[in-house]
């Protein structure tokens, strides 16, 4: 059985709402091209604690339900997913956002069979649990970490923060 796992944030979403949230909370304009590293705290020169403080439950709820869809990414990932028996949306989102995430996926016509939210925990055990053969991610660090995992094909969705980096992904999904 062929199983694919697909990330949501940064993979199927754009960064406009995320940037608006950072702008409002930090009191300075943040644009998508400012996100030059997957590690947003590093890219914005703030501490990890400052970044965590930005994402209170109210902000997370707003984001989960209203993140801007990347239509090109969704179309490409849905096309790739047609080749698989099982399509799992695998995100580090919090489980209390399950309903909002489900609404977002359905509203944006993302094809999937199962939604798994890991509550900010490592996704790797879920890859084994669901016998995932392929993963689609925007996190170049995670893709490189997974590169040594036998029998796992990796797609990296190209974003400004991973575009000019060397990656060990099997394939890069270019959206422009």
Beta bridge partners of 155: 136, 171
pLDDT digits 0-9 by tens, 148-160: 777 899 999 998 8
Q: Is 170 exposed, middle or buried (0-12, 13-18, 19+ CB in 10 A)?
A: middle
- The predicted model scores a pTM of 0.91
- What's the CA gap between 136 and 132, in Å, rounded? 11
Model pLDDT, residue 167: 80
pLDDT digits 0-9 by tens, 132-150: 999 999 999 999 999 877 7
- Domains belonging to the chain, first-starting first, are 3-14+68-173 (3.40.50.1000), 16-66 (no CATH)
Q: Dihedral sign for Cα 49, 25, 103, 68, please.
A: negative
């Amino acid at each position: 059985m062929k199983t694919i796992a697909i990330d949501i944030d940064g993979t199927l979403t754009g960064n406009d709402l995320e940037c608006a949230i950072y702008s409002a909370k930090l009191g300075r304009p943040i644009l998508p091209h400012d996100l030059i590293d997957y590690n947003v705290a590093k890219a914005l020169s703030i501490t990890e604690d400052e970044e965590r403080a930005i994402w209170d439950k109210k902000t997370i709820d707003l984001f989960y339900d209203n993140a801007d869809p990347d239509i090109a990414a969704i179309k490409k990932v849905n096309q790739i997913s047609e080749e698989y028996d099982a399509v799992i949306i695998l995100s580090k989102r919090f489980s209390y956002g399950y309903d909002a995430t489900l609404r977002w996926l359905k509203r944006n016509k993302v094809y999937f069979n199962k939604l798994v939210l890991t509550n900010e925990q490592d996704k790797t055990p879920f890859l084994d649990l669901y016998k995932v053969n392929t993963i689609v991610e925007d996190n170049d660090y995670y893709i490189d970490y997974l590169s040594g995992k036998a029998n796992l094909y990796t797609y990296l969705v190209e974003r400004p923060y991973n575009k000019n980096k060397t990656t060990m992904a099997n394939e890069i999904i270019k959206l422009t």
